[in-house]
Amino acid sequence: MTFALAGNQNSGKTTLFNHLTGSNQHVGNFPGVTVERKSGGIIGHKDDVLVDLPGIYSLSPYSSEEIVTRDFLIKGKPDGIINIVDATNIERNLYLTLQLIELRMPIVLALNMMDEVRANHGSIDTERLSERLGIPVVPISAAKKEGLSELVSQAKAAAERRALPTRIDFCSAGPVHRTIHAISHLIEDHALRINVPERFAATKLVEGDAPMMDALMLSENEKDMIEHAVKEMEDEAGTDREAALADMRYAFIEEACKACVTRVGESKEYRRSVRIDSLLTHKYLAIPAFLAVMLIVFWLTFDVVGGNLSGLLGAGVDAFIGAVDASLINFGLNPVMRSFLVEGVLSGVGAVLGFIPIIVSLFFFLSILEDSGYMARVAFVMDKPMRKIGLSGRSLAPLLIGFGCSVPAVMAARTLSGRRDRRLTVLLIPFMSCSAKLPVYALFTAAFFPRYQALVMISLYVGGILLGVLSAYIARKTVFKDAPLPFVMELPNYRFPSVKTVLRLMWDKAADFLRRALTVILTATVIIWFLQSFDARLNTVADGSGSMLASVGRRAAVIFRPLGFGDWRVSTSIITGFMAKEAVISTLAVLTGGAAAGLQSLFSPLSALSFLLFTLLYTPCVAAVGVIKRELGTLSAMITVLYQTGFAWAAAFIVYRVGMMFI
Ligand code: GDP
Ligand code: MG
State the DSSP string of 254-297.
HHHHHHHEE--SS-HHHHHHHHHHHHHT-TTTHHHHHHHHHHHH
Residue 316: pLDDT over 70: yes
Instruction: Provide mean pLDDT across the span 64-76.
Output: 82
Q: How far is the CA of 301 from the centre of ligand 2 (A)?
A: 27
Rounded alpha-carbon distances, angstroms, from residue 653 to 388, 605, 639, 648, 650: 28, 15, 21, 8, 5
Q: Which atom of ligand 1 is nearest to the CA of 26?
A: 8
Position 151 scores a pLDDT of 96
Using the mean position of ligand 2's atoms as its centre, give its distance from the Cα of residue 615 in Å: 33
Query: Higher model confidence: residue 14 or residue 543?
Result: 14
Residue 109 is classified by DSSP as E
Give CA torsion, residues 570, 575, 580, 584, to 10 deg: -10
In terms of average pLDDT, the best of 259-273, 300-314, 415-429, 462-476 is 462-476
Which ligand 1 atom is nearest residue 32's CA? 2
| pTM metric for this prediction | 0.70
Positions of E strands within 64-147: 80-86, 107-112, 123-124, 137-139
3-state secondary structure of 13: helix
Residues contacting residue 650 through CB under 8 Å, at least 6 positions apart = none
Residue 10 CA to ligand 1 centre (angstroms): 6
With the most atoms of ligand 1 within 8 angstroms of its CB, the residue from 5, 24, 27 to mutate is 27
Q: Which of 308, 164, 176 is nearest to 242 (CA)?
A: 176
The count of other CB atoms within 10 Å of the CB of residue 601 is: 11
- CA–CA distance, 295 with 281 (Å, rounded to integer): 18
Separation of CA 509 and ligand 1 centre (Å): 21
Which ligand has an atom closest to residue 10 CA? 1
Nearest-CA residue for ligand 1 atom 2 is 10
For residue 29, the ligand closest to its alpha carbon is 1
Q: What is the pLDDT of residue 626?
A: 87
Q: For residue 503, give the nearest of 402, 399, 360, 624 by alpha carbon.
A: 360
Residue 256 CA to ligand 2 center (angstroms) comes to 27
Q: How far is the CA of 517 from the centre of ligand 2 (A)?
A: 29
Instruction: Quote the CA–CA distance of 428 and 413 in Å, as a whole number.
Output: 11
Tell me which residue has its CA closest to atom 17 in ligand 1: 12
Do the Cβ atoms of 186 and 225 come closer than 8 Å? yes
Distances (CA, A) of 276 to 284, 286, 496, 572: 15, 11, 13, 51
Could you tell me which residues come within 8 angstroms of residue 198 by beta carbon, excluding any fewer than 6 positions away?
A: 184, 187, 188, 191, 192
How many angstroms separate the CA atoms of 55 and 71, rounded?
13
Q: Are 369 and 497 in contact (CB under 8 A)?
A: no
Max intra-chain CA distance, the chain? 96
Which residue out of 5, 8, 10, 375 has the highest number of ligand 1 atoms within 8 Å of its CB and is therefore the one to mutate?
10
Tell me, letter by letter, the H, E, C secondary structure of 133-149.
HCCCEEECECCCCECHH
Range 576-593 average pLDDT? 87
Whole-number Å distance, alpha carbon 58 to ligand 1 midpoint, is 19
Nearest to 209 by CA among 59, 414, 71, 416: 59
Looking at ligand 1, which residue's alpha carbon is closest to its atom 28?
Answer: 143
Tens of pLDDT, residue by residue over 187-199, are 999 998 988 888 8
Atom of ligand 1 minimally distant from the CA of 7: 3
For residue 10, which atom of ligand 1 is closest to its CA? Answer: 2
Please check whether residue 88 is in contact with residue 267, taking contact to mean a CB–CB distance below 8 angstroms: yes
Per-residue pLDDT, averaged over 590-595, amounts to 78
**Nearest atom within ligand 1 for CA of residue 15:** 7
pLDDT per position as a tens digit, 483-523? 777 666 678 888 888 888 888 878 887 888 788 788 888 88
Split at pLDDT 50, 70, 90, the class of 34 is: low
C-alpha 302/C-alpha 496 separation (Å) is 25
Task: Give mean pLDDT, residues 31-38.
Answer: 66
User: How remote is the CA of residue 159 from the centroid of ligand 2, in Å?
Assistant: 24
Q: Is the pLDDT of residue 157 over 60?
A: yes
Amino acid at 469: V
pLDDT band with cut points at 50, 70 and 90 for residue 559 = very high
Percent of the chain past pLDDT 90, that is, above it, reads 39
266 pLDDT exceeds 80? no
3-state secondary structure of 489: coil
Task: Give the number of other Cβ atoms within 10 Å of residue 658's Cβ.
Answer: 11
Which 8-state DSSP code applies to residue 87?
G
Helix (H) or strand (E) run with residue 130 in it: helix 126-133
Lowest mean pLDDT: which of 81-95, 399-413, 598-612? 399-413
Pocket perturbation via mutation, ligand 1, pick of 5, 13, 15 by most ligand atoms within 8 A of CB = 15
Is 91 in contact with 445 (CB distance < 8 Å)?
no
Closest atom of ligand 1 to 29 CA is: 14
- The atom of ligand 1 lying closest to the CA of 373 is 14
pLDDT of residue 551: 87
Nearest ligand 1 atom, CA 31: 2
Question: Residue 448's pLDDT band (boundaries 50, 70, 90)?
Answer: very high
Task: Assess contact for 3 and 81: CB atoms under 8 A.
Answer: yes
Residues of the chain above pLDDT 70, percent: 96
Which residue's alpha carbon is nearest to atom 18 within ligand 1? 12
- Expressed in angstroms and rounded, the spacing between residue 594 Cα and the centre of ligand 1 is 46
Give the other-Cβ count within 10 Å of 58's Cβ: 19
**CA-based nearest residue to 134, from 167, 98, 100:** 167
Cα separation, 203 vs 194, whole angstroms:
16
CA 92 to chain centre: 25
Nearest to 201 by CA among 222, 221, 220, 231: 222
How confident is the model at residue 590, as a pLDDT?
85
Residue 38 belongs to what H/E stretch? strand 38-42
pLDDT of residue 139: 97
Select the highest-mean-pLDDT range: 355-364, 508-517, 641-650. 641-650
- Structural domains in the chain, CATH included, are 2-161 (3.40.50.300), 175-262 (1.10.287.1770), 522-660 (no CATH)
Kindly report which listed range (180-194, 196-210, 536-550, 571-585) carries the lowest average pLDDT score.
536-550
430 close to 275: Cβ distance less than 8 angstroms = no
Instruction: Measure 7 CA to ligand 1 centroid, in angstroms.
Output: 12
By the 8 A CB rule, do 66 and 52 touch? Answer: no
Interval 80-129: pLDDT, tens: 999 999 998 898 899 999 999 999 999 999 999 999 889 888 899 999 99
Query: Confidence band (pLDDT; 50, 70, 90) for 29?
Result: low
pLDDT interval class at 356 (50, 70, 90): confident
> CA torsion angle for 450, 456, 460, 466 (degrees, to 10)?
-170
Q: Whose CA is nearest to atom 12 of ligand 1?
A: 12
Determine the pLDDT at residue 82. Answer: 97
CA-based nearest residue to 385, from 496, 532, 484: 484
Q: Where are the alpha helices (DSSP H) in 402-547?
A: 406-412, 419-428, 437-448, 453-478, 499-516, 522-533
**Mean model confidence pLDDT for the chain:** 87
Residues 422-447: what's their mean pLDDT? 91
* Residue 446: Cβ within 10 Å count: 17
| Pick from 173-182, 513-522, 573-582: least confident | 513-522
Q: Are strands 38-42 and 107-112 parallel, antiparallel or unpaired?
A: unpaired
Ligand 1 binding residues, C-beta < 6 A = 7, 9-15, 27-29, 33-34, 55, 112-113, 115-116, 141-143, 371, 495, 498
pLDDT of residue 345: 86
What local confidence, expressed as pLDDT, does residue 229 receive? 93
pLDDT band at 35 (very low <50, low <70, confident <90, very high): low
Q: What is the mean pLDDT of residues 551-567?
A: 92
Kindly tell me if the per-residue pLDDT of 33 is higher than 60: no
pLDDT at 329: 93
- How far, in Å, from the CA of 30 to the mean position of ligand 1? 9
Confidence at residue 425, expressed as pLDDT on a 0 to 100 scale: 93
Q: Which of 222, 189, 221 is nearest to 205 (CA)?
A: 222
CA angle (72 as vertex; 70, 74 as ends), nearest 5: 70
Contact (Cβ atoms closer than 8 angstroms) between residue 257 and residue 98? no
Q: Who has greater pLDDT, 606 or 175?
A: 606
Q: For residue 86, which ligand has an atom nearest its CA?
A: 1
From CA 31, how far away is CA 393, in angstroms rounded?
12
